[in-house]
Structure 1
Amino acid sequence: MAQRSGTGGRATDLSSCPAFPSALESNVKYLLAFTLAAACATAAAASTETRIPDAAVRAAEQLRDRAMNDDTAYKLVEGLTTEIGPRLAAGDNDARAREWVIAKFKALGFDKVYTEPVTYPKWVRRHESGSIVAPFPQNLVLTALGHSFATPTGGLTAEVVHFDSLDALKAADPSAIKGRIVYVGARMHRYKDGRDYGIGSPIRTQGPVIAASKGAAAFILRSAGTDATDRIAHTGVTGFADAKANGIPAAALSNPDADQLERILAYGKPVTVKLDLDVGFEGDYTGANVIGEVTGKKHPDQIVDIGGHLDSWDPGTGAIDDAAGVAIAAAAAHLIAQLPQRPDRTIRVIAFANEEAGLYGGKAYAEAHAKEVARHVLGSESDFGAAPVWRFSASVKPEARKAIAQIADVLKPIGVEYAADRSGGGGSDLSQMHAKGMAALSIGQDGTHYFDIHHTSNDTLDKIVPKEIAQNAAVYAVYAYMAAQAEGDFGSAPGAFKNDKDED
């Protein structure tokens, strides 16, 4: 059929152009191929995207509601702190606590309960005291820091030199320090996320090491705590690794005693302090991580890790740090085990050994399981008390973000926000598995008052609110169950998160 051109009124028979039909056909084929390719790409992306089935979401909502009214976690903390009490790593109660948890894990109905050995230096606390000798004699409330070295028999007396910060100590001339007792007086303040522990903890761990390297006779600090008026000292570990370190005696003052020391220093007269610390290392000790599992019915070799650390410092009974964490994780797994069917993946609860003196349990666990990191689909440890969980964040592959959002939707009604712009470190001990490549969450409790009692004699059961610890168990039960039921993975692989920013 002749076609009329719009130019010059001249008719042109386009069909006479031999290239036209083949060009049109080529364009149509190209367009069709492009459309199909795009559809395939979309389908491929969808097929690699991790999601949680609707049935699992509904089951998680029911699990959440049941957990919110369950007292398993509170009863576990009550039992551990009452029947065992303080659990200093390698101390008298270490083995008793381990056997207690083994028995409880079995009683909770876990399919498998076992231990993995953890070896570390044994440190003991026998006696501690301190006083201001001059110019105004008076006793000090203090506690020896973990891995502190002992004073000579009868004590050590020396003049105090005061620094406002760790940086000031680092910059100090050794001649101003040699033979003296270094005191660092930086103060922590209360925040919901506990951020000021980033000030107190480095002073406690690094300060004694720096002071020793500059010839100090001993080290004391204002306690790494936020209680401004309680005359209670906060212990915690130093940076001395073992008996071979170039160690010195190290202790923490209660906040009111630190205030008193600073008032006396302000008089401008030499201030002399006596320390008498009978503490130190006694060789090595082999404890264990205690592990309980709810075995997955579909992928038993794929693991969701949850836990807390079993050890505590010895002044209190370790209720918030960290009997609560062990109890929260165990209660969550117990609630999942009570469902009509086992989860698709295995839920593993770890009660870690000796977190307090250097993450020994977490490091041992990571080394033992490093070659199987891809099978540890997601992990998080509870080690920040038992106040309500208010926020969580995640380090997962991009294709798993929608699954994390599904978890967030189930947790939102119980007051938990999803901080999508933050990474997740896994918590204290499980940070070591995250460093190997395990996908991880950071689940944050309200830490406003956590450092008021952290590492003190005030860490006792009365600080645990039953309804609040139940909410914690609900959060862990929801996350662990939904991760176990997810279709697809969360990105665990060797080295997968090596560039993560630690935001625990």
Structure 2
Amino acid sequence: MRAMLSVAIATCLFAAAASGHAAERETRIPDKAIATAAQLRETALKSDLGYRITESLTTEVGPRLAGSEADARAVAWAVAKFKELGFDKVWTEPVTFPKWERRSESAHVVGANAQPLHLTALGGSPAGNVEGEVVRFADLAALEAAPAGSLAGKIAFIDYRMERARDGAGYGPGSRVRSKGPSAAIRAGAIGYLMRSAGTDSHRNPHTGITRFDEGLKPIPSAALAVPDADQLGRLLALGKPVKVKLALDCGWDGTYTSQNVIGEIRGSKKPDEVVVIGGHLDSWDLGTGAIDDGAGVGLTMAAGKLIGDLKQHPARTIRVVAFANEEQGLYGGKAYADAHMKDVAKHQIGAESDFGAGRIYAYSSSAPEHAKAADAQIAQALAPLGIEYVPGQGGPGPDVGPSAEKGMAWARLAQDGTDYFDLHHTPDDTFDKIDPQALAQNVAAYAVFAYLAASADGDFGSGTPPQKPATPPAAKK
């Protein structure tokens, strides 16, 4: 009995000690920081800084195709802008990748119903001039089921219509048509590949984006039709007569290129070697000026960092803003950052990326483990006046912070309203005039509040510990 009592007492003491340890470890945000964040939020809402930075990038540099001459100008712009904004430390880190170029592109229906088609080459497509009968498939699965050789001498056309959604969930199936369709067409013997653009608009603006060819397959010219042109081609095919298209693309890979991740820091007051990472990607596709994808992400996170830097008292930890290189063609900047910095993953308090346009942020979540739930809720409460809902357990990290999250960095998601995002995404219509200044200011306020409070927390958000679930980016990502 005495032995059992001793065991029971020891068990209670162990439980109490464990409970006390958990309580000591619980991450909280000081009241003073909460009060400062409220003032920061109001300052950001009244500021047009994020809008002006985005205007500067999209006007002075314009489209920023990875590996192009404009890529180098964008890097120089970012370095200069960080310095102009007064960041305490600014530097670059190399990112090397294959270089793809677009030179010219055209397509025509030939024969009795001859007419031009508006399209654009998919990133990664080879050059080529092909002419053949078009065979329509309703979706990717239908093309994948086509027997080998059944499309010999023909052009495959997937006529899949992407669905509109606030969280961009329709982009997953739409982007798979782009990434997997060309290889399926090759296996069936096709000489060329066409797809309805992965977009939700009805304008004569085709949507580009990267595609891949499975190893061992010889790539074929691959392009995306503007939505009205996909409709037109579909109507021609519905007449029941063979439709021939002539496709001419001048594009392709041309060696390798080294760009840069551009990084600016607002140094922390007490723990400067620990960082909160925010950012966006500096590159864009070449059809528009890359305003919503992702000039806005760069502009709003630079502005958030600047406004935190303007405070009389910096937060305890450093705010690190990263303008990532070449996200569009394979997350090269995000992967390079993870390789360079995740050996010290525990020094990364948490990271968040803006890469879903410039719509208002409507929801907040993070990977915060149990001991950081209270602090996470404090951040959510500070974001609530901006119309942002707390949705713990939902979503995932942005594309370029995804590789770091996979290596153990804690992440946060500030979900933007993407209802109209895929009307503009990867098209000539992705231009500065599409940005709402008030919506962008709300984004700046949200990122400033989030970053400041995370950097001010007493305790961590779980970086370096096993994630509670896989760090999978939302379906809407590239």
Determine if the TM-score, normalized by the shorter chain, exceeds 0.5: yes
Q: Distance in 2 between matches of 1:101 and 1:225?
A: 30
> What SS does the corresponding residue of 2:385 show, helix, strand or coil?
helix
Question: Displacement, 1:241?
Answer: 8.7
1:385 alignment partner in structure 2? 357
CA gap of 1:306–1:182, structure 2 versus 1, over 3 A, is same
CA contact (8 A) 1:386 1:468 kept: yes
1:72 alignment partner in structure 2? 49
1:475 pairs, out of 442, 446, 463, with 446
CA contact (8 A) 1:144 1:252 kept: yes
Larger radius of gyration: 1
CA contact (8 A) 2:277 2:320 kept: yes
Q: Structure 1: 5+ residue runs without aligned partners?
A: 1-23
Q: Distance in 2 between matches of 1:245 and 1:332?
A: 46
Question: Displacement, 1:295?
Answer: 1.2
2:419 is the counterpart of 1:442: no
Question: Displacement, 1:214?
Answer: 3.1
Q: Which amino acid aligns with 1:430?
A: V
1:219 alignment partner in structure 2? 193
2:171 is the counterpart of 1:232: no
1:148-173 CA distance string (max 9 Å, x none): 1101xxx3111111111111111111
Q: Distance in 1 between matches of 2:110 and 2:186?
A: 22
2:178 is the counterpart of 1:204: yes
Question: Displacement, 1:500?
Answer: 4.1
CA contact (8 A) 1:218 1:249 kept: yes
CA contact (8 A) 2:183 2:214 kept: no
Q: Distance in 2 between matches of 1:498 and 1:40?
A: 28
Q: Distance in 1 between matches of 2:214 and 2:431?
A: 28
CA contact (8 A) 1:437 1:498 kept: no
Q: Distance in 2 between matches of 1:424 and 1:397?
A: 14
2:85 pairs, out of 93, 105, 108, with 108
Output aligned runs, 1:224-263, within 5 Å: 224-227=198-201, 229-240=202-213, 246-263=218-235
Q: TM-score, normalised by structure 2?
A: 0.95
Q: Which amino acid aligns with 1:438?
A: M
Q: Distance in 2 between matches of 1:27 and 1:149?
A: 77
Q: Distance in 2 between matches of 1:320 and 1:241?
A: 30
1:77-126 CA distance string (max 9 Å, x none): 11111111111111121111110110000111111100000111111111
CA contact (8 A) 1:115 1:288 kept: yes
Question: Displacement, 1:499?
Answer: 3.0
1:414 alignment partner in structure 2? 386
Q: Which amino acid aligns with 1:234?
A: H
CA contact (8 A) 1:437 1:497 kept: no
2:374 pairs, out of 389, 402, 417, with 402
2:338 pairs, out of 326, 348, 366, with 366
CA gap of 1:99–1:259, structure 2 versus 1, over 3 A, is same
2:166 is the counterpart of 1:195: no
> What SS does the corresponding residue of 2:95 show, helix, strand or coil?
strand
2:285 is the counterpart of 1:313: yes
Q: Distance in 2 between matches of 1:188 and 1:121?
A: 29
Question: Displacement, 1:359?
Answer: 0.7
Q: Which amino acid aligns with 1:163?
A: F
Output aligned runs, 1:423-434, within 5 Å: 423-425=395-397, 427-434=398-405
Question: Displacement, 1:424?
Answer: 2.7
2:256 alignment partner in structure 1? 284
Q: TM-score, normalised by structure 1?
A: 0.90
2:147 alignment partner in structure 1? 173
1:162-189 CA distance string (max 9 Å, x none): 1111111111112222221111011012
CA gap of 1:245–1:66, structure 2 versus 1, over 3 A, is farther
2:240 is the counterpart of 1:268: yes
Question: Displacement, 1:62?
Answer: 1.1
> What SS does the corresponding residue of 1:433 show, helix, strand or coil?
helix
CA contact (8 A) 1:306 1:380 kept: yes
CA gap of 1:431–1:167, structure 2 versus 1, over 3 A, is same
> What SS does the corresponding residue of 1:175 show, helix, strand or coil?
coil
Question: Displacement, 1:42?
Answer: 3.2
1:267-317 CA distance string (max 9 Å, x none): 121111011111111111111110101111211111111100000111110
Q: Distance in 1 between matches of 2:467 and 2:102?
A: 41
Give the aligned length: 475
2:36 alignment partner in structure 1? 59
Q: Distance in 1 between matches of 2:472 and 2:278?
A: 21
Q: Which amino acid aligns with 2:211?
A: T
Q: Which amino acid aligns with 1:223?
A: S
CA contact (8 A) 1:135 1:271 kept: no
Question: Displacement, 1:474?
Answer: 0.7
CA contact (8 A) 2:360 2:440 kept: yes
Q: Distance in 2 between matches of 1:500 and 1:83?
A: 36
CA gap of 1:43–1:64, structure 2 versus 1, over 3 A, is same
Question: Displacement, 1:442?
Answer: 1.7
Q: Distance in 2 between matches of 1:310 and 1:351?
A: 5
Q: Distance in 1 between matches of 2:23 and 2:415?
A: 31
Q: Distance in 2 between matches of 1:282 and 1:31?
A: 72
2:64 is the counterpart of 1:87: yes
Q: Structure 2: 5+ residue runs without aligned partners?
A: none
Question: Displacement, 1:396?
Answer: 2.1
1:17-67 CA distance string (max 9 Å, x none): xxxxxxx99999999877765554432221111111111111111111111
Question: Displacement, 1:370?
Answer: 2.5
Q: Distance in 2 between matches of 1:149 and 1:30?
A: 73
2:298 is the counterpart of 1:335: no
> What SS does the corresponding residue of 1:187 show, helix, strand or coil?
coil
Q: Percent identity?
A: 54
> What SS does the corresponding residue of 1:174 show, helix, strand or coil?
coil
Q: Distance in 2 between matches of 1:501 and 1:450?
A: 21
CA contact (8 A) 1:135 1:269 kept: no
Q: Distance in 1 between matches of 2:169 and 2:112?
A: 36
Which moves more between the two structures, 352-361 or 368-377? 368-377
2:18 is the counterpart of 1:44: no
1:119 alignment partner in structure 2? 96
Q: Distance in 2 between matches of 1:475 and 1:247?
A: 44
Q: Distance in 2 between matches of 1:35 and 1:122?
A: 63
Q: Which amino acid aligns with 1:238?
A: T
1:6 alignment partner in structure 2? none
Q: Which amino acid aligns with 1:84?
A: V
1:14 alignment partner in structure 2? none
> What SS does the corresponding residue of 2:149 show, helix, strand or coil?
helix
